[in-house]
Structure 1
Amino acid sequence: MADSETKNEIFQKEAAEHAADLEQRGQSVSQVNMNKNLEAKISNPLADIPVDVLMKEVEEFAQEKGMMDILDVLQKGARVAQDPDRFEELDCIDESEKEVIRYERAHRWKHPLRLYFTIIVCSIGAAVQGWDQTGSNGANLSFPLEFGIGDGECDECPNQDRDNWLVGLVNSGPYIGSAFIGCWLSDPCNFYFGRRGTIFISAVFCLITPIGGAVTQSWEQLFITRLLMGIGMGLKGSSVPIFAAENSPATIRGALVMSWQMWTAFGIFLGFCANLAVHTVGDIAWRLQIGSAFIPAVPLCLGIFFCPESPRWYMKKNRYHKAYNSLLRLRFTPLQAARDLYYIHSQLQVEASIVGKSNYLTRFFELFTIPRVRRATLASFVVMIAQQMCGINIIAFYSSTVFVNAGASASDALIASFGFGLVNFVFAWPAIWTIDTYGRRTLLLFTFPQMAWTLLAAGFCFYIPEESTAHLACIALFIYLFAAFYSPGEGPVPFTYSAEVFPLSHREVGMGWAVATCLFWAAVLSISFPRILEAFTPTGTFGFYAALNVTAFVMIFFWVPETKQRTLEELDYIFAVPTRRFMSYNTTKALPWWFKRYVFMHKDAQLEPLYHFDHGVVGAQKQESE
């Protein structure tokens, strides 16, 4: 504890020195403690700088970064970034440039094709992830027979307990490989190879390992190929959402980054389609089901090199001219690129005063010692572990087994699993429009209670006599309803949220931590579910996961702040608010307001906002008028 306090004192001293330096250069700095933001202010570091001082600083910045050839547009961009809501009052930009900014604000979905191509490539990476997850789903009905580790249906076989654990172990291979190797390689790989290079390496792993799994001759060999697949999945899961988040504008970042989950759902759906398409071909069916996952990895390997590298990664490596060139490909005009470049740079200077200097060996420990980073670590942990607590993967991994336990034939179980995959994909689409309007936190708090009761209902449906057609139909209905609530809520939020919340200095290791958390518990679930199903019965198992949904709801309520429509750097202010302050606000203000508004139907009930925007931050004028 003493070491942590000493480190925090050092960071506060650095922050004070940074503020004093700014004041010496003529700036009026808003005193916000960036590790203990008690007033919950969100500030623009450029807001109070006199224009002449700002222009001088931009010139010094251009000289330092070797960008004097674009000094004029950098100065214009800095003026716009200083107070984005008042760009109309600026004389330094002409009418055509103002029209571009008006258009940007009125049409938040209008962006260059290169941005959308980047998101499409990221979506292909997500589809690879989903297909990899479901290749073993249909194979669970036959590969144990091939390798002599049970028949999946005999409850009195002498080695049944051992066989259940072995089947779970093989299925968990990718998650073990991800949680213990792949996710932690993300930080050094991103450091040396960049976002694009890391994604390419992951795609190669995901291309080769399914083919290797399809030709294995023992369960041990299959387990090893799935471990190696996990390295690719961990690298990809830790890098693709970051890559999408860093390239996306704040207003639609959630919708673009949530494409990870939507297309993971699509990959799961394609995996179910492949399982169903080849299940009648005989003894090699399971080999085709596992091997087919290589297909989407091919366009990922090729497409990633046509995407611009992350501007923030270039800035982290002090390659500002390349960062500007990347932004030119992601924005319509040089003014927009210069505005974003200088605003990000200014916020990164503030961020440096929070986290100080660190190296690869210390960054992991700083996830738990620097207050601003620690709060992001806690929030990302909650949303990631909640994805496993909610029970979605007992269906994604074992839906065929669940439906066989419900009395379906192998063929009918695969058809029912296909329906689950379809629902999971279709109902992910609404999140595109809701994640940046209602927000990440609201979607989670709405959907978790719905998932709890649908799982509980599915469990009770096992009491319906098997000879009744309602038995399988009702179980399938509530599982589909569960997926319909999951897909726009806990489905897209965890990877979107975790890619946003960490400062640039700790983004790779933080995302590695978050994805490792998710996939480690996915491994635990995959290993344990066959045994849990046997011990608890289907009804008890579904009831157990329904209770975990309620637990996850409480954790989200107390520990997960909202991040919608704020730039990645402005989130430093969000996570500077102490956890106790956040919990107190939700307990004493947000919860009573919710009961007044939605239980007692008092339409005039008002909720005092937690966060307050200083002038110079997008949305400040709107909050002032309210």
Structure 2
Amino acid sequence: MKKTDLNARYVFGIAFISALGGYLFGFDFAVISGALPFLRTYFGLNAWWEGFLTGSLALGCMVGCVLAGNLADRYGRRPGLMLAALIFALSSLGMAFSTGLTGFIVMRFIAGIGVGMASTLSPLYIAEISPAEVRGRNVSINQLTIVIGILITNLVNYGLADSGPDAWRWMFGLGAVPSLGFLVGVIWLPESPRWLVQTGRIAEGEAILQRIGGEAFVERTVTAVQQSMAQTEKPSFATLFEKNVRPAVLVGIGLAVLQQLCGINVVFNYTSTIFETVGASLNRQLFETVAIGVVNLLFTLVAMWQVDKLGRKPLMLVGTLGLSVLYVVIALLLKNSASSGLLSVFVLLAISVYATSLAPITWVLISEIFPNRIRGMASSIAILALWAAYFVLVFTFPILAEQLGTYGPFWLYAGICLVGFWFVQRNVRETKGKTLEELEGTFVSH
């Protein structure tokens, strides 16, 4: 494969702005951890309602994924990103001013629609504007902005914790600020050149490709996209089950479900519950959310550095096996009421393993493995499965913890990670350094 005459600054700039959609994901993902102690009191939540309130974001995300796939293939990538930002801004204010549990859950569901759209369209857009040699790093920028969103939100939550019983309103309402910033940034973005070429707007696509990588890159990409689209009908939902694309779709869904059911997101969303088990104070619980955010950010940078060097598959294998072992240790520490300091060490180790493997690499693979003609639709289905799995995970954790003890679910997550190791070993092929068109027809299960 020929190297691209890459306009690195321009490509990084548009990738980073698109990836700010990940910041919105990180914000709503993290804000609930700091707000839950206040929401439990304000709304009088039991285990069932705590799980449903937390998981209602995921239900909205599932709707957002379906909308995003349709919008992306019909109208392009930019309009969907703009709509996601607007929805998120309005819903953040809606949650902040909620007075009843039903109204709050409805607003969190609507926020999920925006997050679901952004989580589908941001990595999809980045993959389509990035030359192969930097695609893994650029798509990982989306994960970087997610973890930056988590860290900043945890810091804000920590700072607001002593501001009174209505601190949670400020925690949610401040989400309108990055949403409006993202909206302004997306207005500046060009449309995906691959989508423009696919829809017959070749001159517009060529102009953007020229700015990304020069004349040779234009010719090579346009030719490859047109060949991948040749003699194909407009895709329908049934297309996803055709023999030649079904293996890639199933692998994408499997990776998406694994990223969630591996269990790490109960650590992000229920940090206070987990550390309360070993006697940590509220201040210590919120401090742990900050520590988790810092470690998550540092090791996401490690993943970005290594994803186009070590490759996708080795990192996924190390991640699934490492998490399985660490969960066994965490379960034992919780069962035996270990010190919060010792528990913190192994929780942070689990975060570091996840941040260098399943967290970013799943998004990279989902953005890469689908053929051009179905990428928008297939990506939305895979991410729909991801959010469905997230809902199952966060909804069931408070209930399982109440029935089995806080340590009990971690035995289950350890087993799921072992199954995930087998799944990756058997089904995932390495994708680093290949163009999206070179990957077409090759990503099949063994």
TM-score in same-fold range (> 0.5): yes
1:258 equivalent in alignment to 2:140: yes
Structure 2 unaligned spans of 5+: none
Aligned-residue offset at 1:349? 4.1
SS at match of 1:217: coil
- Among 299, 303, 306, the alignment partner of 1:431 is 303
Two-structure CA RMSD over aligned residues (Å): 1.7
1:208 paired residue number: 90
2:251 paired residue number: 379
SS at match of 2:378: helix
Determine the C-alpha separation between the residues in 2 that align with 1:552 and 1:232: 29
Aligned-residue offset at 1:479? 0.4
1:556 equivalent in alignment to 2:424: yes
- Among 398, 402, 422, the alignment partner of 1:534 is 402
- Among 233, 237, 241, the alignment partner of 1:368 is 241
- Residue 252 and residue 325 in structure 1: after superposition, are their counterparts in 2 closer, same or farther (change >3 A)? same
TM-score in terms of structure 1 length: 0.69
Aligned-residue offset at 1:289? 1.7
TM-score in terms of structure 2 length: 0.96
- The amino acid across from 1:177 in the alignment is G
Q: Is the 8 A contact 1:436 1:564 kept in 2?
A: yes
2:108 paired residue number: 226
Determine the C-alpha separation between the residues in 2 that align with 1:435 and 1:383: 16
Please say which structure displays the higher CA radius of gyration.
1
1:127 equivalent in alignment to 2:23: yes
Aligned-residue offset at 1:573? 3.9
- Among 285, 293, 298, the alignment partner of 1:413 is 285
Determine the C-alpha separation between the residues in 1 that align with 2:2 and 2:128: 20
Aligned-residue offset at 1:112? 4.1
2:120 paired residue number: 238
1:358 paired residue number: 234
Determine the C-alpha separation between the residues in 2 that align with 1:117 and 1:204: 21
Q: Is the 8 A contact 2:126 2:139 kept in 1?
A: yes
Determine the C-alpha separation between the residues in 1 that align with 2:124 and 2:19: 13
1:351-408 superposed Cα distances (whole Å, 9 cap, x missing partner): 235x82034xx2x22112232x212111211211111122111011111111112211
- The amino acid across from 1:124 in the alignment is L
**Structure with the bigger percentage of helix:** 2
SS at match of 1:492: helix
SS at match of 2:151: helix
1:113-150 superposed Cα distances (whole Å, 9 cap, x missing partner): 2212112212321111101111111111111221233x
1:329 paired residue number: 211
Aligned-residue offset at 1:547? 1.2
2:33 paired residue number: 137
1:525 paired residue number: 393
- The amino acid across from 1:430 in the alignment is V
2:372 paired residue number: 504
- The amino acid across from 1:388 in the alignment is Q
SS at match of 2:310: coil
Residue correspondence of structure 1 range 276-287 to structure 2 within 5 A = 276-287=158-169
- Among 339, 342, 349, the alignment partner of 1:481 is 349
Q: Is the 8 A contact 2:371 2:441 kept in 1?
A: no
% identical equivalent positions:
26
SS at match of 2:407: helix
- The amino acid across from 2:203 in the alignment is H
How many residue pairs match? The answer is 446
1:567 paired residue number: 435
- Among 169, 172, 189, the alignment partner of 1:307 is 189
Determine the C-alpha separation between the residues in 2 that align with 1:283 and 1:389: 33
- The amino acid across from 2:240 in the alignment is L
Determine the C-alpha separation between the residues in 2 that align with 1:327 and 1:345: 9
Aligned-residue offset at 1:295? 2.3
Determine the C-alpha separation between the residues in 1 that align with 2:246 and 2:386: 18
- Among 49, 57, 60, the alignment partner of 1:174 is 57
Determine the C-alpha separation between the residues in 2 that align with 1:357 and 1:533: 49
